[in-house]
């Protein structure tokens, strides 16, 4: 699909409006309920342990570039940094994407400033390692072993290096919290980390941690959209079984000639 | 009874260095000593992959179209991805189909794809420029607009080949102008690069382009929904998939050669898991015995 | 569009000087902007940049004529994307500065483990020097030989070695984690065993005595494995990805409309 087709255009627009509407509603005082996410409540515990042991904390925002996943991961890590700053612990953040260095520096510095500990922030703790996947993994493994980190927070896009990082941290006895939208890496984190947040919990994490109206509203919007999509899937399945392909055609790759065409079966494979 | 239980409990805490040594030995030994291993069963996804290529090659209306073979992997996953690439190349060359190599995940993919094609070209009488072409490497961020633009003008937007020659001047590219001149897409990948083809290229022409996928084994579970939806027309999952394809082609290669180490190393994992669980149950039993005493 | 085509000769130099002057002017103007204007400025640039891609995707396209399938923004899509690639390339300089800053300091101050820093700086030079040399003196066989040695002999081999370490970690992690401690863990363990055994020849041989057709064939390990992957795992993956996709849409909207600032420890908007 090079451009939005008629139905997709309206569906995406509707979803966007629902999310923004919920954000505005939350900013005006409506507070949606948010359930407990064990992996995120463990942040204080993990940071506290690092303080007790006198060892640093290691975070990673994965292999992504400056994209949505990485920025969300950075937002979560920034919250971890705020806790670390409050406890007076050192946070190491090796990054894989060079363009992320100034962005991460800025975000983490803000977190330390907000916690009233600007002195505890060290620029060299936000470190570019390598743009190469396994050189980055080897670099992190080295830091984990040399610094004997007490806790790791792994959020973002991960590939095969996930297990290299998590197992090395496991070897030094670090308490580990991980979260990734990369579904293929979730099993690796589950076997080697103490807490794993799964799927869209990743996008709900900042709302959970900060309880800020904007983020809480966004989360409520996401859930509404999800409900709507599930309803569409259900209705679509029923209608398709009855040989009425209208819902499937709504998500078609191209504009259909007329309104009536949406109710007719489309050519094979479309 | 009790000594056995104690022994099993100890089996719960084998030092990780011993585990690593066991794995190294299990991988290395079958390469030195020929251990028997039965042929691997062929999955429906590999069979579907094979059938799609066969049907394309047997269709006189489509077989003159260009096949795009994307080698989006680096040396790290070459054991899986390079074996898949070579198995697919055997099939394409055996059927005398014209193809274009392309890479946009890592520059290593460009070199690895080129090396595989050159290795097999002489055997099948393939000549660069006449029978196949290499589009070279493009940075990942630039590929989405490139594919969108290439829908209507492939040589104009891809520009030059790997050697800097304009694509329009290369014989195999004669008659290849738009998305409708692409016959199949084969994506060999070690990261999530498939979505670009599916989102921006596969279904924008007159007919949907059959898309075949060769991911690493770890990535394969993500692709099953795409097979069910018809967005993929076949998949070779990791080294297993490549081995199955070698069997289908009756062309034993690296995959068939390492079938024994692959089998026995995974069997080792099963045995270790069993040992760990036996130890856990033995510990519980031992605790109960102590309570009874 | 004349701005966005490759230039050569004096015009190329004119473009380079023009770009530098324009960039310098923008930076100068930014220094003049009061601190309070910083946030609205970032929000405006973010919104405009996002608006371009959104408008290009959603704006209706021509259905006939020379510009079929294009709208008025489509011709600018590639140049704008090229700009982001160029920006990323410049950022590499920031990364290398950050890396060298840490390691050269470690070497100069003889910090603990400074030997590793020497190896790191040496490795950068070992690959960068032959690569640049080869690029500017293409006929030189020594440069090409050194590059091949560093890239194929060093980098590629090390890359493959690092990836192969994953196999060892899988063994230790599986051995440690796959224990039948609870009902859920037992289900996970059993399905893992079926999938592992169902994908290897030795495992498949355990049930190869079952007929290949008919009801009993369903209990062959490779069939069970395929069933787990396509009927149990695939819908679960799809459901997770559905949630992730919507989450990404919401996060994109918050960033695009600059509603997101709160999570980076600035005041809530």
CB contact under 8 A, A65 and B230: no
Q: Please, which chains are in contact with A (at least 3 CB pairs closer than 8 A)?
A: B, C
Task: Tell me the residue length of chain A.
Answer: 270
Higher pLDDT, A260 or B245: B245
Q: Which of C265, C267, C268, C269 to mutate to test the interface with A (most CBs of A within 10 A)?
A: C265
**Residue in A42, A62, A70, A64 with CA at minimum distance from that of residue A174:** A42
Residues A6-60 pLDDT 10s: 777 888 899 999 999 999 999 888 888 888 888 888 888 889 989 899 999 999 9
**Distance between CA atoms of residues C175 and B278, nearest Å:** 12
**Residue in B93, B182, B90 with CA at minimum distance from that of residue B135:** B182
CB contact under 8 A, B222 and A134: no
**Distance between CA atoms of residues A117 and A111, nearest Å:** 9
Identify the band that residue C260 occupies on the pLDDT scale cut at 50, 70 and 90. low
Provide mean pLDDT across the span B267-273.
94
Query: The pTM is what?
Result: 0.86
CB pairs under 8 A between B and C: 141
| A133 part of contact set with chain B, CB < 8 Å | yes
Residue pointed to by tokens 């509203």: A217
CB contact under 8 A, B77 and A1: no
Residues A118-156 pLDDT 10s: 888 998 899 899 888 899 999 999 999 999 999 999 999
Can you give the pLDDT at residue B145?
84
Mean pLDDT for chain C overall: 87
**Distance between CA atoms of residues B217 and B223, nearest Å:** 11
Which DSSP string do the residues of chain A spell out, in sequence order?
A: --S--HHHHHHHHHHHHHHHHHHHHHHTT--------HHHHHHHHHHHHHHHHT--EEEEEES--SSHHHHHHHHHHHHHHHHHHHHT--EEEEES-TTHHHHHHHHHHHHHHHTT-GGG--GGGEEE--SSHHHHHHHHHHHHHHHT-SEEEEEEE--THHHHHHHHHHHTT-EEEEEES-GGGHHHHHHH-SEEEETTHHHHHHHHHH--HHHHHHHHHHHHHHHHHHHHHHHHHHHHHTT--HHHHHT-SS--SSTGGGGSPPPTT-
CB contact under 8 A, B225 and C88: no
For residue B193, the tally of other CB atoms under 10 A from its CB is 20
CB contact under 8 A, B23 and C168: yes
Contacts 24+ apart (CB under 8 A), B279-284: B279/B8, B279/B9, B279/B10, B279/B11, B279/B12, B279/B13, B280/B12, B280/C179, B280/C180, B280/C181, B281/B8, B282/B4, B282/B5, B282/B6, B282/B8, B282/B9, B283/B5, B283/B9, B283/B12
Q: Which of B208, B220, B238 to mutate to test the interface with A (most CBs of A within 10 A)?
A: B208
**Distance between CA atoms of residues A197 and A8, nearest Å:** 30
Identify the band that residue A267 occupies on the pLDDT scale cut at 50, 70 and 90. low
Residues A213-232 pLDDT 10s: 888 999 999 999 999 999 99
Task: Confirm if B82 and B212 have CB atoms less than 8 A apart.
Answer: no
Residue A268 pLDDT exceeds 50 = no
Can you give the pLDDT at residue C30?
86
| C132 part of contact set with chain B, CB < 8 Å | no
Higher pLDDT, C96 or B241: B241
Provide mean pLDDT across the span C220-231.
94
Tell me the percentage of chain B whose pLDDT exceeds 90: 74
Can you give the pLDDT at residue C38?
80
Residues C127-152 pLDDT 10s: 999 989 988 887 888 998 999 899 88
Residues B31-75 pLDDT 10s: 888 888 888 899 999 999 999 999 999 999 999 999 999 999 988
Can you give the pLDDT at residue B170?
96
**Distance between CA atoms of residues A8 and A25, nearest Å:** 26
Can you give the pLDDT at residue A95?
94
Which DSSP string do the residues of C79-136 spell out, in sequence order?
A: HHHHHHHHHHHHHHHHHHHHHHHHHHHHHHTT-TTHHHHHHHHHHHHHHHHHHHHHHH
Contacts of A128 in chain C (CB under 8 A): 94-96, 98-99
**Distance between CA atoms of residues A38 and A185, nearest Å:** 19
**Residue in C35, C55, B146, C84 with CA at minimum distance from that of residue A67:** C84
First-residue to last-residue Cα distance in chain B: 15
Residue pointed to by tokens 């962005």: A103
Q: Which of C59, C85, C144, C168 to mutate to test the interface with B (most CBs of B within 10 A)?
A: C168
Mean pLDDT for chain B overall: 93
Residue A239 pLDDT exceeds 60 = yes
Q: Which two tokens stand for residue A95?
A: 């990054």
Contacts of C96 in chain A (CB under 8 A): 98, 128
Can you give the pLDDT at residue C265?
46
Residues B130-140 pLDDT 10s: 999 999 999 88
Residue C73 pLDDT exceeds 80 = yes
**Residue in A167, A264, B259, C141 with CA at minimum distance from that of residue A178:** A167
Which of 54-93 (A) contact B at CB < 8 A? 65
Identify the band that residue A270 occupies on the pLDDT scale cut at 50, 70 and 90. very low
Contacts of A134 in chain B (CB under 8 A): 76
Which of 146-165 (C) contact A at CB < 8 A? 155, 158-159, 162-163, 165
C64's CB contacts (< 8 A; 6+ apart) are none
CB contact under 8 A, B16 and A1: no
Can you give the pLDDT at residue A1?
62
**Residue in B159, C261, C216, B215 with CA at minimum distance from that of residue A27:** C261
Q: Please, which chains are in contact with B (at least 3 CB pairs closer than 8 A)?
A: A, C
Task: Confirm if C221 and B266 have CB atoms less than 8 A apart.
Answer: no
Q: Give A149 to chain B, closest Cα distance, Å.
A: 20
Residue C183 pLDDT exceeds 80 = yes
CA-based angle A63:A68:A71, to the nearest 5?
70
Residue C1 pLDDT exceeds 80 = no
Rounded to two decimals, the ipTM of the complex is 0.86
Task: Confirm if B80 and B191 have CB atoms less than 8 A apart.
Answer: no
DSSP B209: P
Which of 239-258 (C) contact A at CB < 8 A? 239-244, 246-255, 257
Dihedral angle at the C-alpha atoms of C235, C239, C242, C244, nearest 10 degrees?
Answer: -120
Residues A57-78 pLDDT 10s: 999 999 988 888 998 999 999 9
For the sheet with B99-103, list strands across it: B132-137, B99-103, B66-72, B182-189, B211-215
Residue C58 pLDDT exceeds 90 = no
Residues A159-205 pLDDT 10s: 989 999 999 999 999 999 999 998 889 999 999 999 999 888 898 88
3-state secondary structure of C219: helix
Q: Give A5 to chain B, closest Cα distance, Å.
A: 11
Taking the alpha carbons of A203, A209, A211, A214 in that order, is the dihedral positive or negative? negative
């Amino acid at each position: 699909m090079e451009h939005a087709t008629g139905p997709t255009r309206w569906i995406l627009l509707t979803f966007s409006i629902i999310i923004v509407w919920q954000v505005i509603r939350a900013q005006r005082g409506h507070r949606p309920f948010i359930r407990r996410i064990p992996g995120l409540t463990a942040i204080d515990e993990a940071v506290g342990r690092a303080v007790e042991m006198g060892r640093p904390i290691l975070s990673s925002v994965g292999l992504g570039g400056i994209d949505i996943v990485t920025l969300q991961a950075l937002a979560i890590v920034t919250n971890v940094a705020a806790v670390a700053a409050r406890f007076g612990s050192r946070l190491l953040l090796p990054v894989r994407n060079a363009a992320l260095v100034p962005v991460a520096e800025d975000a983490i510095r803000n977190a330390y400033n907000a916690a009233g500990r600007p002195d505890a922030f060290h620029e060299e703790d936000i470190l570019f390692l390598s743009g190469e996947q396994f050189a980055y993994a080897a670099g992190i493994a080295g830091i984990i072993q040399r610094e004997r980190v007490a806790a790791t927070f792994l959020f973002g896009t991960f590939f095969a290096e996930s297990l290299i990082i998590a197992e090395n941290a496991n070897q030094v006895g670090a308490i580990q919290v991980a979260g990734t939208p990369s579904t293929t890496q979730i099993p690796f984190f589950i076997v080697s980390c103490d807490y794993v947040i799964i799927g869209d919990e990743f996008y709900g994490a900042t709302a959970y941690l900060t309880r800020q109206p904007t983020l809480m509203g966004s989360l409520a919007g996401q859930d509404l959209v999800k409900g709507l999509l599930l309803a569409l899937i259900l209705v679509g399945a029923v209608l398709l079984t009855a040989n009425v392909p209208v819902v499937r055609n709504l998500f078609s790759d191209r504009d259909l000639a007329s309104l009536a065409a949406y109710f007719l079966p489309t050519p094979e494979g479309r | 009874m009790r000594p056995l239980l104690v022994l099993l409990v100890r089996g719960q805490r084998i030092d990780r260095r011993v585990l690593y040594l066991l794995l190294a030995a299990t991988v290395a030994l079958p390469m030195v000593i020929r251990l028997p291993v039965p042929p691997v069963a062929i999955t429906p996804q590999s069979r579907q992959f094979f059938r799609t290529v066969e049907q394309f090659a047997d269709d006189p209306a489509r077989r003159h179209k260009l096949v795009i073979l994307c080698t989006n992997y680096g040396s790290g996953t070459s054991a899986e991805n390079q074996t898949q690439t070579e198995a697919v190349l055997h099939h394409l060359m055996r059927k005398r189909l014209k193809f274009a190599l392309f890479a946009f995940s890592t520059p290593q993919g460009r070199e690895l794809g080129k090396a595989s094609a050159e290795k097999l070209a002489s055997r099948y009488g393939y000549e660069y420029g006449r029978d196949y072409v290499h589009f070279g490497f493009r940075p990942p961020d630039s590929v989405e607009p490139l594919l969108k633009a290439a829908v209507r003008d492939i040589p104009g937007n891809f520009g030059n080949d790997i050697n800097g020659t304009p694509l329009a001047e290369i014989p195999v590219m004669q008659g290849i102008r738009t998305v409708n001149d692409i016959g199949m897409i084969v994506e060999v990948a070690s990261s999530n690069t498939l979505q670009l083809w599916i989102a921006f290229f596969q279904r924008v022409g007159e007919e949907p382009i059959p898309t075949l996928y060769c991911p690493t084994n770890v990535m394969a579970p993500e692709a099953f929904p795409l097979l069910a939806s018809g967005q993929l027309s076949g998949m070779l999952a990791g080294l297993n998939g490549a081995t199955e394809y070698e069997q289908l082609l009756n062309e034993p290669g690296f995959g068939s050669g390492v079938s024994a180490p692959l089998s026995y190393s995974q069997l080792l994992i099963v045995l270790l898991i069993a040992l760990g669980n036996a130890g856990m149950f033995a510990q519980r039993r031992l605790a109960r015995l102590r309570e009874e005493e | 569009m004349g701005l966005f085509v490759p230039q050569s000769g004096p015009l190329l130099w004119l473009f380079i000087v023009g770009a530098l002057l324009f960039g310098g002017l923008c930076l100068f103007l930014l220094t003049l902007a009061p601190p309070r204007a910083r946030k609205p400025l970032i929000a405006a640039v973010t919104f405009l940049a996002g608006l371009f891609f959104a408008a290009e995707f959603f704006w209706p396209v021509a259905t006939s004529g020379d510009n079929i399938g294009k709208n008025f923004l489509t011709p600018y899509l590639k140049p704008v994307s090229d700009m982001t690639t160029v920006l990323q390339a410049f950022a590499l300089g920031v990364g290398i500065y950050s890396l060298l800053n840490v390691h050269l300091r470690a070497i100069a101050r003889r910090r603990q483990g400074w030997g590793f820093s020497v190896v790191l700086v040496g490795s950068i030079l070992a690959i960068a020097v032959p690569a640049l040399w080869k690029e500017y003196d293409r006929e030189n066989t020594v440069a090409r030989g050194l590059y091949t040695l560093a890239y194929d002999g060093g980098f590629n081999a090390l890359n493959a070695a690092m990836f192969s370490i994953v196999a060892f970690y899988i063994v230790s992690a599986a051995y440690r984690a796959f224990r039948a401690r609870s009902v859920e863990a037992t289900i996970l363990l059993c399905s893992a065993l079926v999938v592992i055994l169902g994908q290897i020849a030795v495992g498949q041989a355990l049930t190869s005595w079952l007929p290949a057709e008919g009801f009993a064939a369903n209990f062959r390990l490779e069939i069970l494995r395929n069933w787990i992957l396509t009927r149990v795992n695939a819908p679960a993956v799809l459901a997770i990805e559905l949630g992730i996709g919507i989450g990404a849409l919401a996060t994109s909207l918050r960033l695009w409309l600059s509603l997101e600032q709160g999570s980076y420890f600035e005041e809530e908007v």
